[in-house]
Structure formats: C-alpha cells, structure tokens
Amino acid sequence: MIVKAIERVGDKIRLLDQTRLPSEEIYRDYDDYKEVIEAIKRLEVRGAPAIGISAAYALALAVGQTGDTSRANIVKLAEEIKAARPTAVNLSWAIDRILEKVNKSFSGKPEDILQLIWSEAAAIHEEDRLMCRRIGEFGADLFKSGDSILTHCNTGALATGGIGTALGVIYTCHQQGKNIHVYADETRPLLQGARLTAWELKKAGIRVTLLTDNMAGMLMRQGKISQVIVGADRITKNGDTANKIGTYSVAVLAKVHGIPFYVAAPMSTFDRTTETGDEIEIEQRSPAEVTRLFGTPIAPEGIEVFSPAFDVTPDELITAFITDEGIKPGGRKE
C-alpha cells in the first residue's frame, strides 16, 4: 500500500504528520495558511515536490482566509509563504506559477480569482502525481531484478504528490515484478531514512535494509550496492544538485567504487536562474536537531553546532538525471 501525504478536503488541506512517524500515523486538517507554513517549517510535510504542493494550497487558504483578492495582498501572502523554506525550488516555483496565472486573469471577480488559485494548486498536485509516474517508468529501465540500491533521505509518496521520485523508480520496479533490495541510509540528524523511507517501503512490501549513514562505504567496498538513487531539492543550470545533507558524501563514495549515482527529480526542480551550486542558499537548521534525539540530549550543553539541512553534489559525480521527460546525462555532458 502506497501512502498519501497530502490531500485537499473541501477548503481544507489534510497532511500526514511526518514528525510522528513511524510510531504514529496521524493526519491533520488545516484551514489556516499560517499553520501550513509552520507545518512546512517543522517538517510535518517535507520533500521538495510535497512542499511545493502544500505551499500552493496554502496560498489558496491564505487568500480565502484574508478575503482580499487584490494583487498587492496576493503578492504579500505569496512572499510570506515562499520564505518558509528557501532551498527547495519547488516551493517558489509553485507560488510563482500561481502568481503568473493570477496576473493573466486579474480582471476577474474576487471569487473567480480565489477559485483560480485553488484550481491551479490542484493542477500542480495532479501534475506532480503524473510526473512521479513518468519518472518511475523512465527510471525503471535502468534497473533489473537482483539489484541492490542505496538511497538517502526520503523521496517517496511522503515527499511528493504521487509515488515519489527516487522511490517512485523503486515502486515501479516492484510493480514490474523486479526483485529489488533497497538499502536505506538512516539520514541524520532527523532520521528521514529510518523513520520515513524504511516505514514507507516496508508498508509497500518492498525488501529494505536500514543502515547508519557511515556504513555505506563498507557495503560498497563489499560489492553489495549496485546503484545509488536519490532525489533533489534544487538542480542548478550546470547540474549541481542540492539534496539532503549527506548526499555529497554518498556521491563521492559511489564515484570511488565505480557505482552509478542517479538523481531522480521532475523538471520543475531544475533551476535555470542559478548557475552553480555555489549560489544556492543552504538552510541552516536548529542546533537542537543535532544535540538532541527526540528530546533527549546526546551532546554537551552549549556545544557549537554546524547543522545545514542540505549539501551540494557537483554534476561531475552524477551519472544521470531521471526526469519526467526522460534520462539526462550528468557529468558535465550536454
């Protein structure tokens, strides 16, 4: 069974609270856009596509909640929502897409403008579902029965509006009857691999083995990893890719061991306005995410902490990008 992380219910948004997984499966309904912003910030919803979809619905909630469909108010609300998490390009992409649609139809009645925003948010959600399916179909051709695939963080139904990006490829392989074994990094410091990926794959009946982040190199050296597949939060014009912290380390290890390293992402994640990864704003997270584990201190009080949410993998370490438009070569290839 593949889960559904985001759903519109009337004029509310239903989100699966991913901070409570795997111990509790709790869905929350929101009709206040500020609460959706906070849900994005505290990672109740996460993953670039899912953040973009949630942000689009949040703008519809916001305009309806304020009752003001003026251009100035919509732009103001849009900027507030876009500030929730700066690194994931899908968030700003989804909001800007709605603003462009509104600008083209601004002569309409207030109720028509609000309906337009809801409709465009729903269209973004449906398109993401279809994009995930296409990514899965294109990517599945790169894998065969018997492969053992390493993944990092969570890129499945929990992170998107469909079956996922990197995990969407794995789901498609499973649906095709391919015997795939997934190795899931735990993904410190928030354990998205342990809490979410392992939970999601187990729920879907796919063989998954959990490992700590510092075990991947050993498995590669032993020949137990045939490919690596990850998602992306932003891909720059030259192919540099921002993804969950720790992705760069995995890419370096894969390069050393001659293992294909694939990035699965929709074309909306490609940021043509940013030249290289050096220009990407990397979100810094609370030190408590490193010094505490589910509220329990695991480091000395007051210790200095470095806690970026993402790192950047240079394009030369990437074998190929699996997109909804097909396979695109990495490694600075045109």
Q: Please indicate, yes or no, whether residues 293 and 233 belong to a single structural domain of this protein.
A: yes
Residue tagged active-site, from 213, 233, 271, 315: 233
User: pLDDT, tens digit, for every residue of 95-134?
Assistant: 999 999 998 876 667 888 999 999 999 999 999 999 999 9
User: pLDDT, tens digit, for every residue of 190-208?
Assistant: 999 999 999 999 999 999 9
User: pLDDT, tens digit, for every residue of 144-177?
Assistant: 999 999 999 999 999 899 999 999 999 999 999 9
DSSP string across 206-232: --EEEE-GGGHHHHHHTT---EEEE--
Average pLDDT over residues 5-14: 94
Q: Please indicate, yes or no, whether residues 148 and 129 belong to a single structural domain of this protein.
A: no
Q: Please indicate, yes or no, whether residues 290 and 193 belong to a single structural domain of this protein.
A: yes
- Determine the Cα–Cα distance for residues 98 and 245; give it in Å rounded to an integer: 30
Q: What confidence score (pLDDT) does residue 334 get?
A: 47
Q: Please indicate, yes or no, whether residues 126 and 71 belong to a single structural domain of this protein.
A: yes
* Assigned domain for 321 exists: yes
- Determine the Cα–Cα distance for residues 187 and 245; give it in Å rounded to an integer: 8
Give, as one character, the DSSP assignment of residue 165: S
Q: Please indicate, yes or no, whether residues 118 and 147 belong to a single structural domain of this protein.
A: no
> Does residue 233 carry a catalytic annotation?
yes
Selection from 150, 192, 151 nearest residue 285 by Cα: 192
Q: Please indicate, yes or no, whether residues 91 and 186 belong to a single structural domain of this protein.
A: no
* Assigned domain for 334 exists: no
CATH assignment at residue 265? 3.40.50.10470
Rg (the chain; Cα; Å): 20
Residue 318 in this model has a pLDDT that exceeds 60: yes
- Determine the Cα–Cα distance for residues 301 and 99; give it in Å rounded to an integer: 45
Q: Please indicate, yes or no, whether residues 38 and 95 belong to a single structural domain of this protein.
A: yes
Q: Which two tokens stand for residue 114?
A: 């609000």
User: Measuring CA to CA, how many Å separate 181 from each of 144, 215, 307?
Assistant: 11, 16, 31
Contacts within 8 Å (CB) and 24+ apart, 10-15: 11/61, 11/64, 11/118, 13/54, 13/57, 13/58, 13/61, 15/39, 15/44, 15/45, 15/54
How many domains does the chain contain in total?
A: 2
Q: Please indicate, yes or no, whether residues 129 and 149 belong to a single structural domain of this protein.
A: no
Residue 28 in this model has a pLDDT that exceeds 70: yes
Average pLDDT over residues 129-141: 97
H helices present in the chain, as ranges? 33-41, 48-66, 71-82, 89-104, 110-140, 166-175, 192, 198-203, 216-221, 247-256, 288-291
Output the pTM of the full model. Answer: 0.87
3-state secondary structure of 93: helix
Q: Please indicate, yes or no, whether residues 175 and 105 belong to a single structural domain of this protein.
A: no
Q: Which residues on adjacent β-strands are paired with residue 150? A: 183, 228
Which residues form the domain of 87?
6-133
Q: Please indicate, yes or no, whether residues 117 and 184 belong to a single structural domain of this protein.
A: no
* Assigned domain for 192 exists: yes
Q: Please indicate, yes or no, whether residues 105 and 147 belong to a single structural domain of this protein.
A: no
Q: What confidence score (pLDDT) does residue 3 get?
A: 83
* Assigned domain for 24 exists: yes
Q: Which two tokens stand for residue 205?
A: 């009946």
Q: What confidence score (pLDDT) does residue 107 get?
A: 66
What average pLDDT does the chain have?
94
Q: Please indicate, yes or no, whether residues 64 and 154 belong to a single structural domain of this protein.
A: no
Last residue of a domain, one of 67, 100, 133: 133
User: pLDDT, tens digit, for every residue of 73-94?
Assistant: 999 999 999 999 877 678 999 9
* Assigned domain for 1 exists: no
Last residue of a domain, one of 86, 105, 133: 133
* Assigned domain for 291 exists: yes
- Determine the Cα–Cα distance for residues 72 and 172; give it in Å rounded to an integer: 44
* Assigned domain for 252 exists: yes
Residue 22 in this model has a pLDDT that exceeds 50: yes
Sorted by sequence, the CB contacts under 8 Å of residue 60 that are 6+ apart come out as 114, 117, 118, 121
pLDDT band at 317 (very low <50, low <70, confident <90, very high): very high
